[in-house]
């Protein structure tokens, strides 16, 4: 079973980036859903939708996907503002540690963000090894 984990963060000013929540998607379920789009509940509440594109035969150069959040939890301490969510993609290094490979843009004060389609080169993402784990 191949899957990916989407973790959504709130951009922090007075604190490190705070996790809003995460969801796990099985790639086969997303590809089998209408329009290759599938929703999943975040562990902390709210929903996240992921869309993936099937690659053309022989194309192993780019991962392309789109992510959307719905009713994400607000992790801001100020009742007059909302979280500024973003997501990042991490790759697993040879020593077992995780390093950042991609950051999305920040969507200011929006608990139902829609991020632009992300495209990441397979070389930057997993060193060209399709079996190497990633974390989105």
Give the pLDDT score at 112.
Answer: 92
Six token digits for residue 131: 């079996």
What is the mean pLDDT for each group of 10 consecutive residues in the chain (136 residues)?
78 73 84 86 87 67 80 82 86 82 89 87 72 74
Mode of pairing for the β-strands spanning 18-26 and 85-92: unpaired
Closest of 99, 84, 89 to residue 67, by C-alpha? 89
Whether the model pTM is above 0.75:
no
Cβ atoms within 10 Å, residue 120:
18
Q: What is the C-alpha end-to-end distance of the chain, expressed in Å? A: 17
Give the pLDDT score at 69.
Answer: 87
């Amino acid at each position: 079973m191949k899957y990916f984990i989407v973790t959504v963060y709130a951009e922090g000013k007075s604190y490190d980036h705070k996790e809003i929540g995460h969801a796990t998607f099985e790639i086969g379920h997303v590809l089998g859903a209408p329009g290759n789009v599938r929703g999943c509940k975040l562990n902390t509440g709210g929903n996240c939708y992921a869309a993936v594109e099937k690659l053309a035969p022989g194309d192993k150069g780019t991962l392309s996907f789109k992510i959307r959040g719905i009713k994400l939890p607000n992790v801001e301490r100020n009742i007059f503002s909302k979280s500024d969510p973003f997501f990042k993609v991490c790759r697993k290094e040879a020593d077992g540690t995780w390093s950042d490979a991609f950051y999305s843009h920040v969507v200011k004060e929006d608990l139902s963000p829609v991020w632009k389609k992300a495209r990441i080169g397979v070389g930057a993402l997993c060193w060209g090894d399709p079996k190497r784990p990633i974390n989105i």
